Amino acid sequence: MRLAVLSFIVLVLIASCRTTRKLTNVISTKDSVVTVVNPYDTDSAKSVRANMDKIKENQIKFKTFSSKIKVNYNDDKNRKFDFNTFFRMEKDSAMWVSIVAALNIEAFRVLIRPDSIIILDKLNKTVQRKPFGYLQSITKVPFDYPTLENLIVGNPVYLEKEVVAFSEKLETLSFSTVGEAFKHFMTVSKNDLHLLFSKLDDVDVSRSRTANLAYAGYIPVGNWMFAEQRKIDLAEKTNIEILLDFKQVEFDKPITFPFSIPKNYKVIN
């Protein structure tokens, strides 16, 4: 259970892993036309930039966010866990996570701020404090606090300015970008530009890390369209599949972050 919880806290939020498929293999499908974007090809470059600008404009903007998240965890060692998570977030300030295990018992409570992380293990009565950079050190992924916020609410991440290739199908558009850390292959629906799929490949071939994130079940929440169903496939030393089902989603409602550390809790590193 602890492995699943830590995977949710770290891997779901950061989504780093590996695969051997190359970016070109992903975008070269039979029913799509792949176009390499030439910066001197004015018409295609303008079209691609216009769509990317719209995707950025459609990103969810919020002050607060809260949701109940049902988590289903499976890995290739036959470990399976199902648990509920109550998540609250204030923009640029804090993320509060309460993880409820069997018999409706709270197992973990986590507080993430832009500079720190505190993990309460309520089953073993321990507390762990780490700097925010701890997440970067254990995943070896360059990311920041806003990236975590965007991953949770379902906004596209690592939107690089330059698109190197794009493909078009009957109902979808796909874009390929290359940044300092990742090659990013992103697919959106053509009619509303909602994010459907995101694939991040490490630019360092020797590391070959990849995350596959799928988005579905869009519903209106306030002024935004929100993807209630997420699937994340991770593989490194262990293959991991995480399914997330968001319920009771709210934006910009008053929230609190109840978080106290009992005196009898043991501090661990």
Report the C-alpha gap between 135 and 139 in whole angstroms. Answer: 6
Higher pLDDT, 32 or 53: 53
Cα separation, 175 vs 203, in Å, equals 16
How many CB atoms within 10 Å of residue 95? 22
Query: What is the average pLDDT across 177-182?
Result: 81
Size of the chain in residues: 269
Q: Classify residue 269 by burial, with Cβ atoms within 10 Å: 0-12, 13-18, 19+.
A: exposed
CA distance 245 to 235: 21
97 inside domain = yes
Confirm whether 50 is domain-assigned: yes
- Among 35-39, 106-110, 156-160, 228-232, the minimum mean pLDDT is found in 35-39
* CA separation for the pair 144, 154 (Å, rounded): 16
For residue 45, being part of any structural domain is answered with yes
Domain count, the chain: 1
Does a structural domain hold residue 265? no
Q: Does residue 160 belong to any structural domain of this protein?
A: yes
42 Cβ contact list (under 8 Å, min separation 6): none
Query: According to the model, what pLDDT value does residue 167 have?
Result: 87
Residues 27-66 as b/e (b if ≥16 CB within 10 A, e otherwise) read beeeebeeeebeeeeeeeeebbeebbeebeebebebeebb
Domain of 245 in residue numbering reads as: 2-253
Sign of the four-CA dihedral 43, 46, 52, 55: negative
Does the residue 102 lie in any domain? yes
Q: pLDDT at residue 249 above 70?
A: yes
pTM: 0.82
The pLDDT of residue 263 is 93
Closest C-alpha among 229, 232, 225 to residue 251 = 225
Q: How far apart are CA 32 and CA 249, in angstroms?
A: 35
Instruction: Name the range with the highest mean pLDDT among 118-122, 160-164, 208-212, 239-243.
Output: 118-122
236 pLDDT higher than 80: no
CATH of the domain at 227: 2.50.20.10
What pLDDT score was predicted for residue 142? 64
The answer to whether position 266 is within a domain reads no
The answer to whether position 263 is within a domain reads: no
**Interval 130-156: pLDDT, tens:** 888 877 665 556 678 888 899 899 998
Reply yes or no on whether the pLDDT at 28 is more than 50. Answer: no
| Beta strand segments in the chain, E | 33-36, 64-75, 80-90, 94-100, 106-113, 116-121, 126-131, 163-168, 172-178, 182-189, 195-202, 210-221, 224-235, 239-251, 266-268
